Amino acid sequence: MSALRILILSSCFLLSNSVIGSANPAGQSHRETAHDFYLKGNAFCHEGKYDKAILALVRSIELDPDYYYARINLGVALAETGRFEKAIEQFSWCISKKWGSGPDRFVFHFNRSLAADAAGDKDLALKDRATLKKLDPLRAGKGKAPRDYVLMDVAYVEKRNQADRDRLLNANRASVTKGKVVIRQVAKLEKNKQEYEAMGLIPGTVAQVSSVLTDYASYPKFMPDVKKTTVRISADKRKIVDHALGLPLGFVKKYRLKFHAKNSRGRTQLSWKKLPWPELKDKETVVDTYGQWILEDFPGADGQVLAYYRIYTDPGNIPLGTGWIVDTMTTESIEDMFKAIARRVKDLYN
């Protein structure tokens, strides 16, 4: 079941929604996802077209009420158009649900403090500022312009993932150094949705580990439960990969992912996002999934790559008696994936 975790953060938000012609035959429409409308809303926000952004982000939330990135950005768009009470409602919803990592929750309270000030609710603004000092004293002390709301867009998510990676490492450096895969559930969402982050060392170089992760055609050879992959190239030269996942009791899940890689010296980021696959029925696939690997040289440990993994997945409705589809998305399954990658690197390069 590990391969279902191969589905997922975050600079998934770098990925566009374009699909090659053969993936979406002419004349056949596809349903836009919550993430699609989130991307549209973000683009409108950057253009200052906040009313259009609100329409797109409301649609995103209708499709996925737990999509807190969209909720926060809806709050920003509402605040930018002077609807401060409505903005506070969106920020407060995310705060009450206890969603998100530390950096995310800082944004929730920071944006609400600005909206509360603008709405004249000084008590709420003071309460949020006190929370900010507890969440991140250094960042809270820097201050911001009165209306400098934080938009949870591509740039934010990249910084957020790096910040979460650093926090996870700082809190678990001893365990990671000893070879343990550290796993944390980022947010407890509803209706079978899952968001996790994980970190561990993989023997090899960044280039070697990256080459294994981007060798999508070979996934059936080493990735647990992956039965078949079909690799295509999109119009913007990125890779689109169709997966067939074989599960116990004859269950099969299929999904289409678009990948994006960014490489720099000693560092690789690999992101992915689910694309529509119109030919599939709902029960044959998952509702949504996206995520990211961050691979970096590990200081003080030659021949070891520090791998940070972030994944969100919404499997949709789970038939009665098959709850294990969600339950098996556990620490053990993610750890199995790390081990499979390490074995593949060893087989190819040692």
**Could you read off the pLDDT of 310-340 as tens digits, one per residue?**
988 877 766 655 555 555 545 568 888 999 9
179 backbone φψ class: left, alpha, beta (φ>0; ψ -120 to 50)? left
CA distance 243 to 254: 5
Phi, psi of 161 (to 5 degrees): -60, -40
Q: How confident is residue 17, by pLDDT bands cut at 50, 70 and 90?
A: very low
Picking from 227, 182, 204, 234, the residue whose alpha carbon sits closest to that of residue 295 is: 204
CA distance 82 to 75: 11
Q: Higher model confidence: residue 345 or residue 281?
A: 345
Domain ranges of the chain: 3-22+156-349, 31-153
Question: What was the pLDDT predicted at 22?
Answer: 32
Chain segment 250-276, per-residue pLDDT in tens: 778 888 999 999 888 889 999 988 888
Report yes or no: 53 and 70 within 8 Å, Cβ to Cβ.
no
Q: What is the average pLDDT across 208-229?
A: 94
The C-alpha angle 294, 4, 21, rounded to 5 degrees, equals 85
Picking from 333, 274, 244, 213, the residue whose alpha carbon sits closest to that of residue 9 is: 274
Q: How confident is residue 137, by pLDDT bands cut at 50, 70 and 90?
A: confident
Q: Which residue has the tokens 């079978």?
A: 192
**What DSSP letter does each residue of 105-161 carry, written as one string?**
HHHHHHHHHHHHHHHT-HHHHHHHHHHHHHH-HHHHTT---TT-PPP-SHHHHHHHH
Q: What is the average pLDDT across 139-165?
A: 79
Q: What is the mean pLDDT of the chain?
A: 83
Select the CATH number that applies to the domain covering 3-22+156-349 from these four: 3.30.530.20, 3.40.50.300, 3.30.56.10, 3.30.420.10. 3.30.530.20
CB atoms near residue 20 (< 10 Å): 15
Domain 31-153 has CATH 3.40.228.10: no
Total H helices, total E strands in the chain: 13, 8
pTM for the whole structure? 0.75
7 pLDDT above the threshold of 70: no
Question: What was the pLDDT predicted at 15?
Answer: 33
**Could you tell me the two tokens for 215?**
């060798």
Q: What is the average pLDDT across 186-210?
A: 87
Q: Which residue has the tokens 């009313």?
A: 51
Q: Higher model confidence: residue 64 or residue 74?
A: 74
The C-alpha angle 160, 162, 168, rounded to 5 degrees, equals 100
Q: Which residues of 237-255 are buried (b: 16+ CB within 10 A; e: fewer)?
A: ebbbbbbbbbbeeeeebbb
Residue 116: exposure state from Cβ atoms within 10 A (0-12, 13-18, ≥19): buried
211 pLDDT above the threshold of 60: yes
